[in-house]
Each structure stands twice: as C-alpha cells, then as structure tokens.
Structure 1
Amino acid sequence: MKFSGSHILSVEQFERADIERIFAVADSMEPYALRQKVTRVLEGAILGNMFFEPSTRTRVSFGCAFNLLGGEVRETTGFKSSAIAKGESLYDTARVLSGYSDVICMRHPQEGSVAEFAQASRVPVINGGDGANEHPSQALLDLYTIQKELRDKGRSLDGLRIAMIGDLKHGRTVHSLMRLLGLFTNLQVVLVSPEELAMPEEYVELLRGLGHRVDVSSDLANSIGHVDIVYSTRIQEERFGSKEEADLYRGRFRLNQAIYTQFCEPNTVIMHPLPRDSRSDANELDNDLNQNPNLAIFRQTDNGILVRMALFALILDVADQVDKFSRPVNWYHSRTF
C-alpha cells in the first residue's frame, strides 16, 4: 500500500510486504522509545486523539508515540465532552477537527463509525477500535510481538502455532489478528471459547481457505499443550446486554502458573491485549504468572509504542528523516524493554 497520507482503518489494507515495512520502521524506533535519542521530526504537527469509548493503553500510547516523534497531542474523551452530545454528526465533527489536526486517531463504540468519519476527514485517520469490528494497530503490535518473541527462539511467523482463548465473538483484537495471520504460511490455530462466544465463522473460514489448520475447542487444558503462543482475552462485558449475561462466562478459562506448568511447553509465550480482568471472579491471567519470563503482556505494551511510532512516520512520510532530526537524551533514564 501507499502509506503516505493514507487512512489506517482495517488490516485488510495490508499485504505481507506492508507488514514487513511497518515492522522494519518499528525496529528503527527503538532508540527513541528507550529514550536513548530524541527526535523532533514531527515538530509542529498535531495529533487529534478522539476516544469516545474508554481506553488507557491505546489512547496514551498513541499520544506518547506522537510525542516521541516531536509532535503535539490534543484529546477528546467521551461523548459528553464533545459536540456529538449536542447532536453534531460524525461528518461535521470530522470536517471541523481535521482542520485542527495533521492526523487523527479515533475510537468509537459503533462498527464502521471510524470509516464513516474518515470519509469526511481532511487528514489521515487511524482506527483505534470501532465496536466489535476491528483494532488494526493492536493486531499489528500483537503480530510484531509474536515475531520478536519467535525471533529470539530462532523462529519466524511462518509455521506459527497459536491458541486464542476467551471471548472470541466480541474481541476485535482477535478478529484483526486472524486476518493478519492469513498473510503467513503453515499456521496452526486453536480457538478456545464457550460455544456462545466462538470466533465468527468468517474468520475461521478465511484461514482454512488459505490452507491453515484451525481447530475449535472449549477445552483449555487440551488446547494449550503444543503451541508457541497462548493469547488470552477478557470477557467483553461492554458488548453484552447486561453484566449478568457477561458473568455467565467470566472466569471460565483461567490460566495460572500451575496450569501453565502442567499443560504448556516450557517456552510457550503468554499474551493478552489488556486490560486483563484481575477481579477474583475472572482473573483470566493469574498474578502468579507475573514473574514468569514467558509472560509477554508488558512487552506487548512497549511494542505498541514502536508500532504506532512507525505508523505515524509512514503516514506522515518522515520514516527516512527521523534520525536527521535526532539528538542524544540529556536526562537520566532507565528504560529497557
């Protein structure tokens, strides 16, 4: 794809070469994310961060990524703090706010809303999550994390064995990740969930149609024994009709150190898009995994900065200028990935 000036709305935009390009640029961002160097390549540029649904990691990491490239961030959070609460349309909001920004990141609870917004925007728009539909940058950082974890073991994404666990019906991160995985070869995917929260059939058939092995199961123990990655997700309470309905499934697929030791291969990597639900009735990833070196959930969040920096650099066409506008850091820092 042509990155310069483009919207990032769906992972369907990407071919394998595009993924490799994003990941190569992400690798080059590491000295800046680690505070070893500072760059001002986007000095004067403004990111409009528009989040109409709760977010911590996505909203803050997009802002940090833009700041680390030298740009400034303006934020709108929640419907009540925006003119949409007064009846303004997405079209009008897009026309106005794109006049104030050089790029916009948007999260919205309705599927297709970010694409609708982008049609009216005068600047590039990045989808930060639209309902249960997609979350492209999360899928990219997940895949980037998987690549890095496998690379350390002398492996590549081709031939990946992965188990996805939890609410696969409503989890937009796994929907986007399934689509990205289809760009690679010889995959083995196990989808573990209650039948009512199963991965939508379109994603299952997509991978099977590309020649990958996809198994569907509701048995956690027998599904995680021969995989490289265990990717757990929380019950998406906000997508259910009520808390009581979500509670029917909460805590069904808990992973703790004892289960990991008994059923997983020694180097199986544990991932989660976060937030993990640590309440006692859920606790899908137990705190006793926190010292497990194969728990990669915080490496995922670190990698999100790199990937989102790469997206900004590519969309605003400065990927080859970042070092030109760099200098050493002049404050104490202790960043390590």
Structure 2
Amino acid sequence: MSRHLLSVDSLTRDHVDHLMRLAARMEPIAQRRQVTRVLEGAVLGNLFFEASTRTRVSFNAAFCRLGGSVCDTTGFTFSSMAKGESLYDTSRVMSGYCDAIVMRHPDQGSVAEFAAAINVPVINGGDGPGEHPSQALLDLYTIDKEFARLGKRLAGAHVLMTGDLKYGRTVHSLIKLLSLHDPMRITLVSPPGLEMPSHLVDLVASRGHRVEQRDSLASDFSDLDVVYTTRIQKERFTEEMSESFAGISEEFVVNRAFLDQRCSDTTIVLHPLPRDSRPGANDLDVDLNGDPRLAIFRQTDNGIPVRMAIFASLLEVDELIEQELGPVRWFVPKRLGVDDREL
C-alpha cells in the first residue's frame, strides 16, 4: 500500500485482502469489547470542506479507538483557504501538526493535489464526484460479512448499482474495487443522464466481468445478491440540470415492494448514506426499516474497523495491535439500535 489512500487505483488485490483481514482483527476494538493504545500520542487532522457526518465522525472514532487524538476543521469559512491559501501551503502546514490527515473537498483531484506536497499519510474522504476509497473498502467488507452469514461467495455474485451513478463517488470506487475480484455480474440502473462513466464500465468489462446497463428497475432480479443504491447528488447539478431532475421517477426507488416482488429473501441492500427520507425524495425507502435485508446500519458500523485497519496499515502499527489489547471497563449495550435484530 502506498503512503496515501487517494484512490482504489492504488490498491492491489493483495492490499485489499490484507485490509479485510486486518479489519476483522479490529472488530473487538470497534465493537467496544477491547481497547488499544497503539496510536497513543498520534494526532489526526480532519479537513472537511464539504458536509459530512458519518465519514468525519467514523474516521474520528476509528483513530480514537486506536488511542490517538483528533483535530477537526469543517467548512471553507473556518479555514485559511477562505483567505486564499493554496492547497500546497495548507498541506505543508498541516503536516507539521498531524501524523495523518483525512480530507474531503468538493473538487475532483483536489485531495491528490493536497497529498502531493507531503509525506504524512493522506486519506481521501471524498473529492467531489471523484472517489471515496475508504467507503468502497467498508462496502466490500460488509458484502463479505453478509455473504459469510448467508453462505454465499463473491465470485459469480450479481450486484445491482442504482441511483446517481454519474456523480456518486462511492459507486465509482466500489465498482473498481469489485473489478479486482473474480468475475461477477454487475447491473447498472440510473435515470437518463446519470449513467456510470463509460471509462469505468469499460475498465470493469475489460477485467472479465459481465456489465449490463438498464434504464429501469422493472425487471426480474430474483438472482440478485446485492442492491447498492445511492442518493441523487443534486448539490453537484448545474441550475439547468436541477430543473431537468426535479422529478426523479419513483421507478428508481428501492423499497419493500421492489425487494418482495423482484428480488429474493437473501438480497441485501446497501446505501452509503445519508439517504433523503423526506416525502417525495425518491431515495431508499424507509419502509425497509427493520427488514433484515436492509444492511445499511451494519454497513456504517463496519466503517470503524475498516478505517482502523487503514490507519494501522498507513502508520505501520498493524503488527503491534495484538500486543496492545486490554479489556473495556465501561457499559456497552448488546444491541446499539433498539430496532437492531440478531442475525
């Protein structure tokens, strides 16, 4: 693994497999059954110039569970970039303060530009419509865990990606990550104008995967293993595009009726969140809450061990974890959510 995590392109299959194994070792710590201080004294700089809840807090929690501490900056208004400071200057300054940096920025390629000036590890927390590599890794980890529970294998699986495939950076990273594995079937369904970029479709197909593009969910998906649905990224639209996509059809909504009528009892549903739960938003429907096929909260929980694994690997303490473990002394509930089910 390189000194930064900016894109899935920097990962080989061996790197991915190592991170998956390392994340599994992190689970007792992430689930608050054990503690470690392996990063005691280390400082994480979180630079988020675009709205975030899950990614920012998840990275914070992951670093803290390894014993480190966090310095947070959110929004351009509260940074020196509002005064015209360059990415180069900001990165060099922050490298003097922090041992690792997570950055989210609205412009594609900005995090790579930021990282190019320094040797302190930088993790891409999302660069506009570009990539979100840590999200793809936690998505893959979730799929692996869900498949293990269901007795399935990733090789030959059928994965549906639907929603905003043009601007959804999570699907850009995930489809590249899946393409490193044995051949599978990937179906892409999006509203017209929001299709997966053609260079990603070509890349995946060139690696031996079967890729299909459709314009509707009105098909038989009874052999479907995974539904990965995304929010329409309206914040990336021009004014003209906003008018064109003002009324996204309900035919692209993943809900209980879609799963019951077109999928199977073992199809799992993923979403990178946040989902827009307001009436008429036509995002992943809340009528699936409580359904065991809905894996979105197990998915977010998995972000902690995966991001812990990323930090441990980049900061080269992955071999020290076993030496630093101790028991948890505070109260931890058996189920985090009142609606969580035992699976």
Aligned to 1:76: 73
1:173–1:223 CA distance, 2 compared to 1 (3 A):
farther
2:197 is the alignment partner of 1:200: yes
2:283 is the alignment partner of 1:284: yes
Aligned to 1:326: 325
1:335–1:318 CA distance, 2 compared to 1 (3 A):
farther
Distance 1:27 1:317 in 2: 17
- Give the SS at the match of 1:309: helix
Q: Deviations over 1:284-316 (max 9, x none)?
A: 221110111010000110011111000001111
Aligned to 2:62: 65
Aligned to 2:339: none
Aligned to 2:208: 211
Q: Deviations over 1:171-202 (max 9, x none)?
A: 00000111111111121010001221111111
Number of aligned pairs? Answer: 334
Equivalent residue for 1:124, pick from 121, 124, 136: 121
Aligned to 1:267: 266
Letter of the structure 2 residue corresponding to residue 111 of structure 1: Q
Contact 2:221 2:263 in 1 (8 A): yes
CA RMSD, 1 decimal: 1.4
Where structure 1 has 5 or more consecutive residues not aligned to the other structure, the ranges are none
Distance 1:92 1:99 in 2: 11
Distance 2:300 2:94 in 1: 28
Q: Deviations over 1:250-300 (max 9, x none)?
A: 645112212211111111001100001111111422111011101000011
Contact 1:139 1:177 in 2 (8 A): yes
2:232 is the alignment partner of 1:235: yes
1:23-172 aligned within 5 A: 23-172=20-169
- Post-superposition offset of 1:213: 0.7
Q: Which moved more, 1:321-330 or 1:22-31?
A: 321-330
Where structure 2 has 5 or more consecutive residues not aligned to the other structure, the ranges are 337-343
- Give the SS at the match of 1:79: coil
Contact 2:164 2:231 in 1 (8 A): yes
Contact 2:150 2:266 in 1 (8 A): no
Identity %: 55
Contact 1:164 1:230 in 2 (8 A): yes
Aligned to 1:303: 302
- Give the SS at the match of 2:116: helix
- Give the SS at the match of 1:162: strand
Letter of the structure 2 residue corresponding to residue 208 of structure 1: A
2:254 is the alignment partner of 1:255: yes
- Give the SS at the match of 1:106: strand
1:251–1:92 CA distance, 2 compared to 1 (3 A):
farther
2:174 is the alignment partner of 1:181: no
Distance 1:155 1:177 in 2: 19
1:267–1:111 CA distance, 2 compared to 1 (3 A):
same
Contact 1:45 1:102 in 2 (8 A): yes
Distance 1:60 1:111 in 2: 22
- Post-superposition offset of 1:322: 1.5
1:226–1:128 CA distance, 2 compared to 1 (3 A):
same
Q: Deviations over 1:70-99 (max 9, x none)?
A: 000001100000000000000000010110
- Post-superposition offset of 1:226: 2.2
Distance 1:61 1:316 in 2: 18
- Give the SS at the match of 2:102: strand
Letter of the structure 2 residue corresponding to residue 175 of structure 1: H
Q: TM-score, normalised by structure 2?
A: 0.94
Distance 1:259 1:18 in 2: 36
Distance 2:252 2:6 in 1: 31
- Post-superposition offset of 1:212: 1.1
Distance 1:7 1:246 in 2: 36
Aligned to 1:17: 14
- Give the SS at the match of 2:193: helix
Q: TM-score, normalised by structure 1?
A: 0.96
Q: Which moved more, 1:22-31 or 1:217-226?
A: 217-226
Q: Which moved more, 1:300-309 or 1:234-243?
A: 234-243
Divergent runs of 4+, >4 A: none
Letter of the structure 2 residue corresponding to residue 214 of structure 1: V
Q: Which moved more, 1:94-103 or 1:249-258?
A: 249-258
Equivalent residue for 2:221, pick from 211, 220, 224: 224
Q: Which moved more, 1:316-325 or 1:83-92?
A: 316-325
Q: Which moved more, 1:216-225 or 1:206-215?
A: 216-225
